[in-house]
Each structure stands twice: as structure tokens, then as C-alpha cells.
Structure 1
């Protein structure tokens, strides 16, 4: 599953009368140690010593191009966004020290929610402390015991965890398979509560869901629909509202979940909705009620960024050009990619296996390029991927430089 559950199902062992709760991870420990013993830098412990811009950082003492962040629209160093955070830090301090339902709602939280309502053209917006919590909270609160959740098998870990927390019946279907989704919906008992959960862009391969058909089928079968737009907000759709907008189903979707840690360039999560009863979620959603709210500086940067994204058409167009250029270039070099055509800002390069994937990752790092190494079980079909996440701030010249790095590393490792 996409960014799915990372722990193994191996049972714990008993050593000297004491249960070793870590034994279930022995295979993962051995895999990691095997990579390190082979002389490969730990790909999951990279430290960025200094961040220079949305596209460059100092890693291991070297100026490195960043192609493995979710900073799609390059908002992390936008001067207006940074200034908004500085002002809020000076005016309101470092944190709220409280929940949103107690002392944790500042003016900035309401203004951020107002910006989200304006951005999406929705009546309600609810900000969470992380994107993970947004899925965890909304899903577990909406669908409980006796309800049914129909979801794509490649759904993000936060979606699966939200399903588990709510104790609903979970009915997965094959990735992006419209017919399979419909069959499962039709098997649900008459009168049961039904929630269909989809993602606009799936984060591992960067492929897009056929939302137009799926939303129509969900509604025909009496289900509510939630779409996670974490990896599409900001640049897909004429106004950057995501695949929901691009597919023309904004009025048919009940809930849109998103995050501030991608295109918005900070941290936090949200849900927007037009449902007339939505505001009750503030009192019944445990991951919202029982956690501290975001610091004032964070919601200030989020609001400033969201309002700038409303006018980001030029940046969106440039990001699409970057995606097309990188996808075409890697394909021409002979790399196997996750999608036949560019569908998002994610370009996934499929590796033969984990060892060669880690070797290729390290070779790229030595070239001065950082990408994500993604491995099973977080990836679909047990694939090892080098996941490239483009940014609107990458120049045309940087993309050409990246292609040269991939060519040299790929030939050295023997993948092309």
C-alpha cells in the first residue's frame, strides 16, 4: 500500500522469560544492517545541514539539488510567507499550549480556515496539527462500528490508521479499479453507512485517480465521498484545488482532506466540506479535541501561502513543464517509470531491487542530487522506487542537470 503500515506481522519471541517486543522487526533490522554492511550510506537518516532554497541544501557537506521533498510550489522561502510567520511569532509567541476547543484557537487559526474556505469555495474548514491527524480524525469520527469504508488498496497509512481507529468495516479494492470499487459497494448491506475514500494523486507512483467515474459510482450507491488531495493541492486544476477540480466533481465530493506540508510549505492538515452538520466535528473528533493546536507562526505562514497559491497559475504551469521534461528525459535514457505519461509532480523511477535501488540512491547523492528511496512494504507491488518530487522553483537548467546526474549514476550502477 502507498506509504502504508511499516511494521511486520512477525510474532514476538520470548527470551529468558521476557517477551522481546522488538523481535517482530528482526527482518527489517537485518535488511537495514545488510545495506550498511555493504558500505551504503543509510538512506533513511540523511541530515540536511543547511537549507539554501526550496531546491537546494547542504547534505554531507555538499551543495545538493533537492528532488525528494514535497515542496511542490516552492513556498518555504517565499518572502511574504516568511514575514507572516515572523510577525506572528513576535505578536503571539511560540505556541498556544492548548487544544483548539480550549485556549488553542487564536485569530490566526480562524484566518487560516477562512483562507481555506475561500481557496476551495467551501462553507467549512477545519485545521489539524498534521495532515496525518486530519485523516486519522475525520475518518475515525465519520465511520464507526457498523459502517463500511470502501477504499483503494494503495491508500496512505494515515487513511488505513483512521479506518482502524474508527472500527468500521474496511473493504479495499484494487488500485484505481473502477469496476472492483463498484462491485464492493453493491455488496454492502442495505441501509449501512458507506464512506468511499480516494486520493487525487497517489504518492508513490504519482498516478491520478479516475475521480469522475469513481465519484459518480459512489453517489449512485448511496456513499459519502472523501478525497485526500495532499499531493495535488496547489498545482492540479485551474485554481490549484486538486484532481477534484480537474475532474469537475467538486460539488459531488463530501470531504476534501489536505496538508500544509506539501504545496503550502509548512506543517498541518485540514478538511474542507459543504456538509451543513460539519461544525459538530470540532466537538466529537478526538484527534482534534485532544491535541495542542498549531503554533501561531505556523498558521500565519499557512494562510499567507494559501492566499498566494490562489494566484499561482504561472508557477503551476512551470511545474507542469518541469514534470514533462523530467519524465521524458528519464524515459529517453531507458529508466522504467511508474507512469507512462507525467500525471503529477511525482516521477517514480522503478529499481530492479532494494540493493541496486540503494546503490543508485547513493550514487545520485554523490552526484549532488537527493531523491527518496522508497521500499516495500510502503510501496505497491513490492517495488523499490526512487521517487522524484519536482518543485515549481526548479529551473529548466536544473532539470537538465538532474537528467545528466541520473545518466551518469545509472550507467555506473548498471541500471541503464
Structure 2
């Protein structure tokens, strides 16, 4: 075959692997439903309200758990930093990308968690990617819950450690996996405080005890519990009395803190070396000064957020009980976090219900496989401490109307 013939050969379509998903999406849109994954918020009015499709809509799918996005002090801090330091750093943390605000943000995290070390990343995804891939590498073993977040799995793959998954929240299965790991091998157990799809919590007290008995280090992702769960809002590990046994806590600023970014806190005496060897930290531009300023201000205010935490728990309990009474199938028997998952019969019904809720003036998340466990389609509701009691009542009425209109409830 000539060189010309070779160059004329058709290239393989590297996107062909997505054809089944493309077909599924086209079939869904052919039913007339709006695309639930391309909603545009034309204007955000508050932590709980936005203009969507030209009408005021209650937000119940934003992860803005503590409602800090419109806090006056947080916004003022961001504006000051923008005026004093400009719009960005144009460099990584190990070069020119560490400003005074980055250190102040890390100091706020150390005070919040009462820990010795804190490391701020550009996103929560990068925090998991960077820390996991750096501390567990080839020849090491990572034991993790099968329902772990994508960033956790990607961190495992990037570090080339052996991945050993166990059934969701199954203490016995986790112990069996740990017992099979060769003696002397490096072991890391990765858990989440709150699992983002169903909103259920992990039995961290028992799991961490087993991990330590097998000589494993422990990393807990508290992305969906920071600021809300625990006496000081430090998460499920604090709430269950085992935070001192956790080697690394990962979190994000994009939930309760109300901005963007990620972090890791730890008491490990060798922690600071990670700043020189963690690739997603070393080779990524640092967060803009305005972002770390808003984060630091928000974190310090969350240290005194007990009233907000109490109100958020009230909202969660009321919504969970109300939806259950209406006949909806929920992801957990009892309210365990600020996430309430409403399980749908299938994707088509879920999309119809999502659209009906939007028509009522309510935005929730439509979640589908493979992001969801056990192939479920669900409507994921994430409550906010700024939702009023009246708004929770409105939300229940909207769910009842949409549920009956779509046949999801009788």
C-alpha cells in the first residue's frame, strides 16, 4: 500500500463509544421534554431563588447548603480582593500563585478543623485527584466504597494503586477486603461522610476502627457534610467522634462554603512535602484572589453557624417526611443529610417529573446512570439553610402537583 493510500484511510471515530448515550438522549428529547442537563439560570436572585426560563424559580438542586453565596461579608471580601490583587494569579501555588489570601484561607481551614496543616486546590475534584494519587501509588492498595465519587476513582487510577472496592456502606465487606491485602503493603481506606446521590451517611466510627486495626491510613471526603453535620460543622467524622483518627480530610468550597475550590486538612507530620510532589497542585494555576477571600470569610463565619445548621436540619426533616407522606420513594428511610433523593421509576418518568417541577417553579437535579448507584434514576433535592419554612411548604405542594400530573404518585 502506498503512502498516499495510507493517508486516505478513514480515521476511526473515537467518539463512537458514546453512540448509545447519544441515542438515549435523542430518544428522550424526541418525547418533547426539555433537556434537563442544559438549564440556564438567567439571573440568580438569592441562595434559594433564580430566574429560569423567564420565571422566578425555587432552587432545590444547588448544594448551597449554608446559603453563603449572597452573604454580605463574603461578597465584600471578594470585592476588596479583586480591587487590591486583581482578577487572577496567572501561576501555580509553587511559583507566583500563592498570595496572602491563599495563606489566610489555609489558616481559616486549620482553625475550622483544629488541624495542623491545610492545602488549598483549585477544585474539590483536584483535591481528591491530587492527594489520593500522591499518597497511594504502584504497589499500594486503596480500599474504597463502590459508590465513591468519580474524582476518588480517578485519583486511584492516576496513582496506579491497586483498587479494592467493597459494597456500599458494608462494614463486613470492607473488613474482608482489608484482610486479603498482603502483609506489609501500603493501605489507604477512602470513605465519604455523605454520599452525594442518595444523601446517606457512612458508618465511619466502625469503618475507621477496622481500617486502623489493619494498619491502613484513612482519607474521608466530607464535601457534602462540611459546615452542616457535626457540633462544629466539621462533618460526619466529627459527628461520630472519630475525626482524630482520620489521616486526611478532603473537602470543597463549592458546597457549604459557597464558592469554588478544594482542600485537604491533616495532622500528618510529613504533610507539607505534598506541596512539592502533588501534580494537580504543582501544575495548576491557583485560585483567583477574590475566590480565596470569599472562601476564607465564609469558612470563618461557618465556625459560628449553629443556628443555620439547626434550621437546615429542620428543613431536611420536614421535606423528607412530607415527600414520604405524599407517596414518593426516597433514597433513605430517615433524613440523614441535606440531600433528599426521590427515586423515579425510569429515566423517561424522571425527565417528565423534572420538567413538571420546573413548570411549577421548582428546580431539582435529575440524576441518571452511570452517576447513580444500582442503575437508579432519581431527583436529587439539596436543601439550603436559607430556605424558609414557607418555601419548604411550597416545595411539597409543587411535588404533589407534579407527581400527580406525571403519574409518579396516585
Q: What's the TM-score once normalised by structure 1's chain length? A: 0.96
Hey, what does 2:396 align to over in structure 1? 403
Per-residue displacement from partner, 1:300-332 (whole Å, max 9, x unpaired)? 000000000000000000000000000000000
Hey, what does 1:100 align to over in structure 2? 93
Hey, what does 2:149 align to over in structure 1? 156
Structure 1 counterpart SS, 2:126: helix
Q: Does 1:77 align with 2:81?
A: no
User: Matched residues in 2 for 1:91 and 1:31: separation?
Assistant: 49
- Pick one of 27, 31, 52 that aligns with 1:34: 27
In the TM superposition, 1:292-311 aligns within 5 A as 292-311=285-304
In the TM superposition, 1:211-222 aligns within 5 A as 211-222=204-215
Structure 2: gaps spanning 5 or more residues:
1-7
- Pick one of 312, 315, 335 that aligns with 1:319: 312
State the shift of 1:18 in Å.
1.6
State the shift of 1:140 in Å.
0.2
Hey, what does 1:198 align to over in structure 2? 191
Hey, what does 2:13 align to over in structure 1? 20
In the TM superposition, 1:112-151 aligns within 5 A as 112-151=105-144
Hey, what does 1:380 align to over in structure 2? 373
Hey, what does 1:364 align to over in structure 2? 357
Hey, what does 1:226 align to over in structure 2? 219
Hey, what does 2:181 align to over in structure 1? 188
Hey, what does 1:12 align to over in structure 2? none
State the shift of 1:415 in Å.
0.7
Structure 1 counterpart SS, 2:330: coil
Stretches of 4+ aligned residues off by more than 2 angstroms: none
Structure 2 counterpart SS, 1:347: strand
Superposition RMSD on alpha carbons, in Å?
0.7
State the shift of 1:16 in Å.
6.4
User: Matched residues in 1 for 2:376 and 2:300: separation?
Assistant: 38
State the shift of 1:133 in Å.
0.1
Hey, what does 2:3 align to over in structure 1? none
User: Matched residues in 2 for 1:22 and 1:366: separation?
Assistant: 34
State the shift of 1:250 in Å.
1.1
Per-residue displacement from partner, 1:71-129 (whole Å, max 9, x unpaired)? 00000000000000000000000000000000000000000000000000000000000
User: Matched residues in 2 for 1:129 and 1:379: separation?
Assistant: 25
Aligned pair count?
A: 402
State the shift of 1:35 in Å.
1.2
- Pick one of 340, 347, 354 that aligns with 2:333: 340
User: Matched residues in 1 for 2:59 and 2:281: separation?
Assistant: 33
Structure 1 counterpart SS, 2:329: coil
Structure 1: gaps spanning 5 or more residues:
1-14
Per-residue displacement from partner, 1:5-26 (whole Å, max 9, x unpaired)? xxxxxxxxxx963200111000
Hey, what does 1:3 align to over in structure 2? none
Structure 2 counterpart SS, 1:216: helix
Q: What's the TM-score once normalised by structure 2's chain length? A: 0.98
User: Matched residues in 2 for 1:133 and 1:27: separation?
Assistant: 29
Q: Does 1:207 align with 2:167?
A: no
Structure 1 counterpart SS, 2:244: coil
Moved more, 165-174 or 31-40: 31-40
Hey, what does 2:228 align to over in structure 1? 235
Q: Does 1:247 align with 2:229?
A: no
Hey, what does 1:52 align to over in structure 2? 45
